[in-house]
């Protein structure tokens, strides 16, 4: 399980089952694994954020009126605008979803769904922010993960577009919450899921 700074991640499914087996859960509260449960896919899911930004070499003496193309992939834990060159504040970012198959068998016919929720409020006062309705970000085509392998899916989020749409009302998207489910195609019960918050910090 990967937990990044500034984020919360929750994982269920095979990971929890494995943890329970290792730690010896209370027998009264634990169902005896059935043959089906024992054979359940051992999947994990990890959500991170990434964007293209300037390299350190490009930043030196960067001409802000004629900036070079951003072509260095950087990981993000949050968005901020404290130094518009030195600290990534991209217009568009990728939500990087990695699904791990920790089992000894391949798992096929998997589908990933991702949705985003924005916490929107006055630019000057995050405490007044409220959650808006979830928006679908991604629904993958069915795929297979070989044993002890991983599969990566990327969904793009246009932060600038969201900020621009809120600006006329002096509003700001203070937080983006990404929820990911990994399902067997045709099923509604997730085999693994994750929820991660991405803070978007306005500036003074």
Partner 1 sequence: MKSLLGSVGRNGVNRYEDVLAVQRLLNAAGAGIDEDGRCGPGTISAIQAYQHNWSQQPDGVVDPGGRTWSRLVEGKLKVAKHAAAQAFVLLPQVRSDGYYSYSPVQRQYGTPATVKTLVSVCKKFALKYPGVSVAIGDMSFTDGASMSPHKSHRSGRDADIRPVRTDGKMLPVTYTDSNYSRERTAALVALLQAERNVKSILFNDSHIVGVKHWAGHDNHLHVSMKE
Instruction: Give the footprint of partner 1 on this chain (CB under 8 A).
Output: 56, 59-62, 64-65, 80-87, 89, 122-125, 128, 163-164, 167, 170, 172, 201-204
CB of 90 to partner 1, least distance (A): 13
Q: How far is the CB of 167 from partner 1 (least distance, A)?
A: 5
Query: Measured over all CA atoms, what is the biggest interatomic distance in the chain, rounded to whole angstroms?
Result: 67
Nearer to partner 1, 144 or 170 (CB): 170
Distances in Å between the Cα of 123 and the Cα atoms of 44, 78, 88, 203 are: 36, 17, 20, 9
Least distance to partner 1, CB of residue 92, Å: 15
179 within 8 A of 131, measured Cβ to Cβ: no
Q: Which is nearer to partner 1, 87 or 147 (CB)?
A: 87
Q: How far is the CB of 128 from partner 1 (least distance, A)?
A: 6
Q: Which CB atom, from 65 or from 188, has the smaller least distance to partner 1?
A: 65
Q: 159 near 174, Cβ under 8 Å?
A: no
Of 144 and 164, the one with the shorter C-beta distance to partner 1 is 164
Strand residues in 102-141 grouped as ranges (E) = 107-122, 130-131, 135-139
Residue 101's alpha-carbon distances to 10, 82, 177, in angstroms, are: 17, 39, 24
Query: Across the strands, what pairs with 200?
Result: 79
CA distance 197 to 109: 28
Residue closer to partner 1 (CB basis): 63 or 141 = 63
Among 90, 123, 130, which Cα is nearest to 204's?
123
* Minimum distance, C-beta of residue 147 to partner 1, in the bound complex (Å): 44
């Amino acid at each position: 399980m990967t937990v990044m700074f500034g984020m919360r991640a929750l994982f269920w499914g095979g990971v929890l089952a494995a943890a329970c087996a290792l730690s010896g859960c209370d027998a009264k509260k634990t169902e005896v694994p059935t043959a089906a449960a024992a054979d359940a896919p051992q999947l994990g899911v990890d959500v991170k954020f990434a964007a293209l930004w300037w390299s350190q070499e490009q930043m030196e003496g960067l001409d802000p009126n004629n900036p070079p193309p951003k072509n260095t992939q950087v990981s993000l834990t949050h968005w901020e605008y404290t130094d518009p060159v030195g600290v990534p504040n991209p217009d568009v970012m990728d939500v990087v979803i990695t699904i791990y198959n920790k089992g000894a068998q391949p798992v096929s016919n998997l589908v990933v769904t991702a949705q985003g929720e924005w916490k929107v409020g006055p630019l000057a006062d995050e405490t007044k922010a409220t959650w808006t309705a979830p928006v679908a970000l991604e629904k993958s085509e069915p795929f297979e993960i070989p044993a002890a392998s991983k599969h990566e899916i990327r969904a793009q989020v246009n932060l600038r577009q969201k900020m621009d749409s809120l600006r006329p009302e002096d509003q700001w998207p203070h937080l983006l919450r990404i929820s990911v489910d990994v399902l067997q195609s045709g099923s509604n019960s997730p085999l693994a899921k994750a929820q991660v918050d991405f803070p978007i910090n306005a500036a003074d």
